[in-house]
Amino acid sequence: MNRSDLRRLLGRCWTAVHADERGLTTLEYVIAAGIILVVLSAAILTWNNGLAAKIGDLVGQLMSS
């Protein structure tokens, strides 16, 4: 296989990948869903840690009185 054949093959592959927008759209949805899940889980963990700290403070107040 010479350079012109390789160049032609790579050109066809490039065209095929970019011509099919369904795969690109699906990939974008998967990336967006991943970002949303990471942000949501970080928010839930932060909220949970805040609740745990408040419960610990309440338990400490009950034990000291």
What whole-number distance in Å separates Cα of residue 12 and Cα of residue 4?
12
Name the residue with tokens 């927008």. Answer: 21
Whole-number pLDDT of residue 41: 93
Structure token digits, residue 34: 């991943």
Residue range 19-35: mean pLDDT, rounded = 79
Structural domain boundaries, residue 47 = 3-64
Name the residue with tokens 């009185």. Answer: 65
What whole-number distance in Å separates Cα of residue 65 and Cα of residue 52?
20
Whole-number pLDDT of residue 23: 64
Global pTM value: 0.53
DSSP letters, 28-64, are HHHHHHHHHHHHHHHHHHHHHHHHHHHHHHHHHHHHH
Q: How many domains does the chain have?
A: 1
What are the tens digits of pLDDT across the range 38-54? Answer: 999 999 999 999 999 99
What are the tens digits of pLDDT across the range 3-26? Answer: 788 788 778 877 876 676 666 677
